[in-house]
């Protein structure tokens, strides 16, 4: 709970930016000299991940995420965080809409770090 509170403020800033804005902003805080890990490693990675996601959950409105009938939420989350053709595209790049097939939807958070 305490760690979630710690992340709540920064997630309140990051989440509304969408993935593109978050990428730019977070990149801008990196140190000029090639970073040496870690900044802080007080907590296990899994706990930090859990706390961040709980904070994101709070920011995007608790209870809304699994309600399939909340179209506004889905469009928003989908368009700005999730909608670059990631679903079903391990390897990727390939499914990313480039021409005119921008899609709305509620994708899985798939593992898509492949290259073929």
Partner 1 sequence: MPTIELLVVQPTPFCNIDCSYCYLPNRSSKAVVSKQTLVNLFSQVFASGWVRDCLAVVWHAGEPLVLDREFYRDVFRTVDRLKPAGLAVTHAFQTNGTLIDEAWCTFFAEEQVNVGVSIDGPQQFHDQNRRTRAGRGTFDRTIAGIRLLRRTEVPFHVISVLTSRSMAAPREMFDFYVGEGIEEVCFNVEESEGDHVSRSFANPGIEAAYYQFLSEFWRLSASRPGRISFIREIEHAIRQVIRPNDAPFSNQLVEPFAVTSMDWAGNISTFSPELLGLKNAGYGDYLLGNINHDALIDLPDHPNLARMLKDIQAGVRMCQETCQYFSVCGGGEPVNKLAENGTFASTETRYCRLTKMRATDLVLDAIERAQQSGEGNQSPDSCCLEPRDQAACGGIGVG
User: Using CB under 8 A, which of 5, 71, 104, 108 touches partner 1?
Assistant: 108
Query: By the 8 A CB rule, do 106 and 68 touch?
Result: yes
User: Using CB under 8 A, which of 30, 71, 102, 104 touches partner 1?
Assistant: 30
Interaction between residue 61 and partner 1 (CB under 8 A): yes
Torsion sign (Cα): 19, 70, 90, 97 = negative
Torsion sign (Cα): 7, 46, 1, 70 = positive
Interaction between residue 49 and partner 1 (CB under 8 A): yes
Interaction between residue 23 and partner 1 (CB under 8 A): yes
| Chain residues 64-93 in contact with partner 1, contact rule CB under 8 A | 64-66, 73, 75-77, 79-82, 84-93
Task: Report the residue number, 69 or 111, with the smaller CB distance to partner 1.
Answer: 111
Distances (CA, A) of 76 to 7, 44, 82, 109: 21, 31, 9, 16
């Amino acid at each position: 709970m305490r760690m979630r509170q710690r992340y709540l403020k920064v997630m309140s800033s990051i989440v509304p930016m969408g993935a593109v804005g978050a990428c730019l902003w977070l990149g801008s805080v990196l140190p000029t000299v090639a970073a040496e890990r870690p900044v802080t490693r007080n907590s296990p990675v899994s706990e930090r991940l859990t706390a961040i996601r709980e904070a994101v959950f709070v920011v995007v409105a608790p209870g809304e995420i699994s309600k399939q009938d909340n179209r506004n939420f889905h469009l928003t989350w989908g368009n700005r965080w999730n909608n670059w053709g990631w679903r079903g595209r391990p390897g990727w790049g390939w499914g990313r809409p480039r021409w005119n097939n921008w899609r709305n939807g509620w994708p899985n958070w798939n593992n898509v770090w492949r290259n073929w």
